[in-house]
């Protein structure tokens, strides 16, 4: 049975591993909605809470770029599993997933990124991840849409694609409800432990549960702080735009210029604009900064071959969202303490890995093994660290 069929069937077709469990999931983004779906289809009594609407936070503002192009074997495995779930869950009645090659490149003269990219591709190949290293001429033969005369080296990953993050999240939330979960949007809650419980802010009522999963994105730090639990997490602001220039393929990350782009139903989507300061998720500016769109579209125009993109004419919309950083750039996923679980800190790679990470944290709640390198208890919560661009190409020593 495919997962697309599972979406329609609901929980009745599955072994009820969690038939005696009651779980509260706080945060109806991609991770929370998927985890609620995975738990509900295992027979868990799940309630999915969000202070806003479904996908009203970072998931609704995500880029929707999906790939398994990671040098680390665990990251690559999770990325690959996520791609497979995107493929199997997508469809005409659910959400689109468009297969599209992913290219990342470094320009001549950018020796750090050239060396790092070559090392990354080599490590990916050693780990069994399908990736190809090419030079500028080879890249030009494959993708006529890209300007390549300044490219020193590029990587190409075929296991990649893009989707609509808001539609994915809404679909998984609806599937969770169909499998028996209760959806509670527009319902702010506070979390307490010993025993695990949620407190409804509206009337102060307390509801005890067997476990709580906090997957509230940039708000996770605040939710846990209200429970007296510090966490090593910093939200930071990023920006993106949609322009009406028609791009068929590929998705591309220019490591030297520090931006990405992908095809979009309205033309193309591009983003960068990482701000290296901690943002307040309750008060950050959701509009793009002045000059952001013109600057980014100038760089996009340079990278695309034979085009003339005019910000005044071609800009459709621009916006800002939030990502979350951790001290070691690995996420915080799993049991934090008592019966409290978290899933956050994705460095901009949260949505693309949501199907696989949510599945794993749901399994851990049901008694399975956690992801040791992502254990959220590995930090005390008061660590000092700098925010780093999530898409930076890492070397083995970083």
pLDDT at 113: 96
Cα–Cα distance list, 98 to 87, 160, 262 (Å) = 9, 9, 11
**384 belongs to a structural domain:** no
Whether 89 has a pLDDT exceeding 50, the answer reads yes
For position 174, which CATH number holds?
3.50.50.60
Are 134 and 264 in a shared domain?
yes
Helices 350-365 and 30-40: angle between axes, nearest 10 degrees: 30
Confidence (pLDDT) at 307: 81
Is the confidence at residue 10, as pLDDT, over 50?
no
Residue 394 has which token pair?
């890492």
397 lies in some domain? no
Mean pLDDT value of segment 200-223? 91
Q: Are residues 9 and 140 in the same domain?
A: no
Which 3 state secondary structure label does DSSP give 269? strand
pTM recorded for the entire structure: 0.93
Whether 345 maps to a domain, the answer reads: yes
Burial code of 300-331, b = ≥16 C-beta within 10 A, e = fewer?
A: bbebbeeeebebeebbeebbbbbbbbbbbbbb
- Contact between 154 and 9 (Cβ < 8 Å): no
**What is the predicted pLDDT for the residue at 185?**
97
| Average pLDDT, integer, range 170-178 | 98
Torsion of CA 216, 217, 223, 227, to 10 degrees: 90
Structural domain includes residue 10: yes
**Is residue 219 located within the same domain as residue 240?**
no
Q: What are phi and psi of 190, to 5 degrees?
A: -115, 145
**Is residue 395 predicted with pLDDT exceeding 90?**
no
Does the residue 391 lie in any domain? Answer: no
What is the domain extent for residue 317? Answer: 99-159+234-325
Q: Is the pLDDT of residue 322 over 90?
A: yes
Q: Is the pLDDT of residue 120 over 50?
A: yes
Whether 336 and 229 map to the same domain: the answer is yes
Indicate if 238 and 318 belong to the same structural domain.
Answer: yes
The overall average pLDDT reported for the chain is 92
> Do 30 and 24 touch, CB atoms closer than 8 A?
no
Tell me how many domains the chain contains: 2
pLDDT exceeds cutoff 60 at 169: yes
Both 351 and 269 in one domain: the answer is no
CATH of the domain at 150: 3.30.9.10
- pLDDT single digits (tens) 217-267: 999 999 999 999 999 999 999 999 999 999 999 999 999 999 999 999 999
Is residue 149, in this structure, part of any structural domain at all? yes
Contacts of 246 (CB under 8 A, 6+ apart): 267, 268
Are 371 and 314 in the same domain?
no
Query: Cα 249 to chain center, whole Å?
Result: 21
Contacting residues for 397 by C-beta, under 8 A, at least 6 apart: none
> Going by C-beta distance under 8 Å and a sequence separation of 6 or more, which residues neighbour residue 162?
63, 64, 65, 66, 97, 98, 100, 251, 262, 263, 264
Three-class SS state of 307: coil
Query: 282-314 pLDDT, tens per residue?
Result: 999 999 999 999 999 999 999 998 888 999 999
What is the rounded distance in angstroms from the CA atom of residue 198 to the CA atom of residue 385?
31
Same domain, yes or no: 13 and 50: yes
DSSP summary character for residue 338: T
Report yes or no: 38 and 175 within 8 Å, Cβ to Cβ. Answer: no
CB 39 within 8 A of CB 18: yes
Give the whole-angstrom CA distance, residue 60 versus residue 311.
24
- pLDDT tens across 375-384, in order? 999 999 999 9
Is the domain of 300 the same as that of 336? no
For the chain, where are the E strands, in sequence order?
A: 22-26, 45-49, 65-67, 97-99, 102-107, 132-134, 151-157, 160-163, 182-184, 189-192, 197-200, 206-208, 211-214, 234-243, 251-254, 259-264, 267-272, 315-325, 332-337, 340-344
Query: 338 and 321 share a domain?
Result: no
The reply to whether omega before 250 is within 30° of 0 (cis) is yes
| Domain's final residue, options 259, 291, 325 | 325
Q: Does 393 reside within a domain?
A: no
Examine residue 396 and state whether it is found in any structural domain, yes or no.
no
199 shares a domain with 58: yes
Confidence (pLDDT) at 194: 82
CA 380: distance to chain centroid?
24
Q: How distant, in Å, are the alpha carbons of 258, 292, 301 from that of 307?
A: 20, 20, 6
């Amino acid at each position: 049975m495919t997962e697309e069929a599972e979406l329609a069937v609901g929980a009745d077709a599955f072994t009820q591993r969690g038939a005696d469990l009651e779980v509260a999931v706080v945060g109806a983004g991609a991770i929370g909605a998927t985890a609620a779906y995975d738990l509900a289809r295992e027979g868990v009594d799940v309630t999915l809470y969000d202070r806003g609407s479904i996908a009203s936070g970072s998931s609704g503002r995500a880029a929707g770029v999906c790939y398994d192009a990671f040098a680390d074997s665990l990251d690559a495995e999770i990325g690959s599993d996520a791609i497979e779930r995107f493929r199997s869950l997508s469809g005409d009645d659910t959400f689109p997933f468009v297969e599209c090659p992913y290219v990342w490149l470094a320009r001549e003269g950018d020796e750090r990124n050239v060396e790092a990219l070559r090392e990354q591709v080599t490590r990916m190949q050693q780990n069994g991840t399908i990736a190809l290293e090419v030079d500028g001429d080879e890249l030009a033969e494959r993708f006529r849409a890209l300007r390549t005369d300044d490219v020193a080296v590029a990587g190409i990953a075929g296991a990649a694609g893009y989707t609509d993050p808001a539609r994915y999240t809404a679909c998984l939330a609806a599937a969770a409800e169909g499998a028996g979960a209760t959806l509670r949007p527009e319902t702010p809650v506070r979390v307490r432990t010993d025993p695990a419980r949620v407190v409804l802010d509206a009337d102060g009522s307390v509801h005890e549960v067997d476990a709580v999963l906090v997957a509230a994105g940039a708000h996770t730090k605040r939710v846990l702080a209200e429970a007296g639990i510090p966490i090593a997490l910093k939200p930071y602001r990023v920006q993106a735009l949609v322009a009406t220039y028609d791009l068929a393929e590929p998705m591309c990350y220019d490591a030297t210029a520090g931006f990405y782009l992908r095809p979009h139903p309205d033309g193309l989507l591009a983003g960068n604009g990482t701000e290296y300061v901690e943002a307040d998720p309750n008060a950050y500016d959701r509009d793009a900064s002045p000059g952001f769109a013109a600057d980014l579209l100038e760089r996009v125009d340079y990278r695309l071959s034979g085009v003339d993109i005019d910000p005044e004419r071609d800009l459709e919309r621009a916006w800002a969202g939030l990502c979350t950083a951790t001290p070691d750039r690995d996420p915080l996923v799993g049991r934090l303490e008592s019966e409290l679980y978290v899933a956050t800190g994705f460095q901009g790679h949260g949505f693309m890995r949501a199907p696989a990470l949510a599945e794993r944290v749901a399994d851990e709640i049901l008694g399975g093994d956690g992801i040791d390198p992502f254990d959220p208890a590995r930090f005390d919560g008061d660590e000092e660290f700098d925010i780093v661009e999530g898409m930076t190409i890492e070397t083995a020593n970083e």
